[in-house]
Structure 1
């Protein structure tokens, strides 16, 4: 594993933000070329996606895909180890450097022993963190030609013991969307606010009417988290009543169908509040993540692989509340995302002191390869 460890630390030291993973993609492509993929597709999606394809020894009966992510986060690392990020305000705080290392280890295994009847596609996907990467890959004609029968991905999970495999049928991660409400009014003298249209009361009404939509218990129907992200209005000029304001929210639910219902409700609230105070609303949406809807039969392959390898298998009862754009793939293909325990004492994802635990890299590669073998033996 020395080669993989060296790669992982290099990736950690040289992180790149979503959509700008140009050097990361070059590093991955150079590594993969050493391990003889039958096809190596580059510049996919937004221009940095990579796919390595390993054909089977015999006739193709099915195609399966495994996915990892290329991008880092706009977070300043506070660790002091030798492989800490060399880039100010950018670091791998979600473990994508480790996910890439797992996939590169899997490429090594496939180069040594291919499947008999299963084509294996390894996707190194850009821009997961902003929700744009999976959509771009899915819409790329070169990806569409591959048309996988099943798709799989994992995510490391602090709070679980190293090597734990965490599975769940149906929703694994929540659907997430974010709304931006811009309210255009009219400035006035601060001593005569009635001569203008100030957005303050409309913003307050939106907050007060959004808040009752929250249902924080994930075991109950219509589980909903609504989080205010950003609010602004007016200027620091005390003689002027504000004439413009914005409010941004992000929200999540456990199912894609329920998410659409909530989107309609929230937009109606914003439009009515704007009308009430004679404001012109402009509503937009950003960073949408579909829920990861796991197919139970695909999850069964993960279960069998974990049991065959004697990893501890944990059945999760409720979805994770974070978003993951792999949901785009599980919307269109049978598949599953599962969790890989990264240590109970490991800092949480997106914390400034998080670092990938290298002892679980081989675990991830082993379980991906075992899933391939189980499907191939059908």
Structure 2
């Protein structure tokens, strides 16, 4: 099953959809235009059911095969939201929305799944039901969890679920996947260190939270180097250091630190949260300051299920001739919530030699469309072969 000829025929049309979405990016749950475009196209394709408003602005389409004797139902998910980044690609279809752009390729993901939905609605060459899932708010809003919390999996009886992401630097149209932990848990924390401010010429009359905070920043790196197993993966990064005074001659009374933690196991996630609290409060106390730690668990580790991963790789090899072993990725992905609800797998499709995602110069490569659409369609036809 190489790239399907139908997707070569549809590539120009799907590309036009993708570029329209690229021109009109929307953030988080505010995907009203995008969701409307998706729903209208699914209805035009002849989907058996189209429901809007799942997970606030998510869209679900149902496509029944020629027969349903297998009783199988698989979900195929694409994300729709953009990022709060100012575009710097120079393409003629660049974002028309100030301060927002499709810098992660969700426009491409949505367009490819729409292409697959059109094909599957035309052919219906499978025995079972395909549920196409278009999700808002992957970029920090947890839209996948919100759709699950809305009862999506049970409402449509979804038994397995599959997702895909483009990947710059990977050969165009190729695939890569791995079983087990794949994308990291993405937690955030904020630490407020309180001291006593004063004149910088008289530090002995102050309790300096700046020195305290600098010590904390350094000490937090010991979590990865001295607390976690050296062969495990854990990242603790301070990304913001803000004092309550910006004057050159004033020692501030307060410092706020913000950061992120990336882990690939529940054990390291617990370890990081515990040690951040211990180090911050302990060091602050030693320097006569106080520390308040707010730790928030965001996306969990995204874990591919073994059997579904092997199947997804098999379909990928049929499309492109190969499926590589993907690396561990310390970025987050809220498809993790769907994989906690149902067995499934997440795969990478190569975007070629392009700027990395989340860059102002990034752009989805439209030449990846036939491979991505073929993989989506192949999942349905191979998992639920026509009776």
TM-score, normalisation: structure 1: 0.91
Secondary structure of 1:204 counterpart? helix
Secondary structure of 2:189 counterpart? strand
Q: Would you say the 8 A contact 1:173–1:321 is kept in 2?
A: yes
Question: 2:102 aligned to 89, 92, 104, which one?
Answer: 92
- The equivalent residue for 1:235 is 245
Q: CA deviation at 1:162?
A: 1.0
Question: 1:298 aligned to 298, 301, 308, which one?
Answer: 308
- The equivalent residue for 1:155 is 165
The verdict on how the C-alpha distance between 1:209 and 1:116 changes in structure 2, with shifts beyond 3 A counting, is: same
Secondary structure of 1:319 counterpart? coil
Question: 2:317 aligned to 302, 307, 315, which one?
Answer: 307
- The equivalent residue for 1:346 is 354
Between 141-150 and 130-139, the greater mean CA deviation after superposition: 141-150
Secondary structure of 1:157 counterpart? strand
Pair 1:55 & 2:45 matched: no
d(CA) in 1 for partners of 2:336 and 2:246?
Answer: 43
Pair 1:30 & 2:40 matched: yes
Q: Deviations over 1:335-376 (max 9, x none)?
A: 111110111x21111221111111111211111111112211
- The equivalent residue for 1:101 is 111
Q: Would you say the 8 A contact 2:63–2:131 is kept in 1?
A: yes
Q: Would you say the 8 A contact 1:131–1:324 is kept in 2?
A: no
**Gap runs ≥5 in structure 1:** none
Q: CA deviation at 1:309?
A: 2.7
- The equivalent residue for 1:3 is 13
Secondary structure of 2:78 counterpart? strand
Secondary structure of 1:208 counterpart? helix
Matches within 5 A, 1:63-212: 63-114=73-124, 116-212=126-222
Between 99-108 and 234-243, the greater mean CA deviation after superposition: 234-243
Q: CA deviation at 1:209?
A: 1.2
Question: 2:335 aligned to 326, 331, 335, which one?
Answer: 326
Secondary structure of 1:245 counterpart? strand
Secondary structure of 1:214 counterpart? helix
d(CA) in 2 for partners of 1:320 and 1:141?
Answer: 29
Q: Would you say the 8 A contact 1:185–1:280 is kept in 2?
A: yes
Q: CA deviation at 1:142?
A: 4.2
Q: Would you say the 8 A contact 1:176–1:252 is kept in 2?
A: yes
Q: CA deviation at 1:239?
A: 5.6
Q: CA RMSD in A?
A: 2.3
Q: CA deviation at 1:259?
A: 1.8
- The equivalent residue for 2:5 is none
Between 24-33 and 304-313, the greater mean CA deviation after superposition: 304-313
Q: CA deviation at 1:181?
A: 1.0
Secondary structure of 1:336 counterpart? strand
The verdict on how the C-alpha distance between 1:276 and 1:18 changes in structure 2, with shifts beyond 3 A counting, is: same
Pair 1:371 & 2:379 matched: yes
Q: Would you say the 8 A contact 1:182–1:281 is kept in 2?
A: yes
Q: CA deviation at 1:280?
A: 3.8
d(CA) in 2 for partners of 1:302 and 1:213?
Answer: 36
Q: Deviations over 1:174-209 (max 9, x none)?
A: 222121112233434545545554321321221121
Q: Would you say the 8 A contact 1:172–1:338 is kept in 2?
A: no
**Gap runs ≥5 in structure 2:** 1-9
Secondary structure of 2:183 counterpart? coil
Q: Deviations over 1:314-349 (max 9, x none)?
A: 123x41221111111222321111110111x21111
The verdict on how the C-alpha distance between 1:285 and 1:144 changes in structure 2, with shifts beyond 3 A counting, is: farther
Q: CA deviation at 1:53?
A: 1.6
Structure 1: which 4+ aligned runs deviate by more than 6 Å?
Answer: none
